[in-house]
Amino acid sequence: MNKQRFFEKYAIDIEFDLVKIRQAVRKISKEMQFDIVAQTKLLTAVSELARNVFDYVGKGEVIVEEVGDSLKTGLKITVIDNGSGIPDIDRAMSGGFSTSKGLGKGLSGTKKLMDEFSIQSEVGKGTEVVIVKWVA
Binding site for Mg ion (CB under 5 A): 52, 106
- State in angstroms the smallest separation of the CB of 41 from ligand ATP: 15
Any contact of residue 106 with ligand ATP (CB under 6 A)? yes
For 52-107, the three-class secondary structure string (H helix, E strand, C coil) is HHHHHCCCEEEEEEEEECCCCEEEEEEEEECCCCCCCHHHHCCCCCCCCCCCCCHH
**Nearest by Cα to 106 from 51, 64, 61:** 51
68 binds, among ligand ATP, Mg ion, none (CB under 5 to 8 A by kind): none
Amino acid making up residue 114: M
Query: Residues 30-69: x/- map of binding to ligand ATP (CB under 6 A)?
Result: ------------------x---xx--xx------------
Residues interacting with ligand ATP, by CB under 6 A? 48, 52-53, 56-57, 81, 83-84, 86, 92, 97-100, 102-108, 127
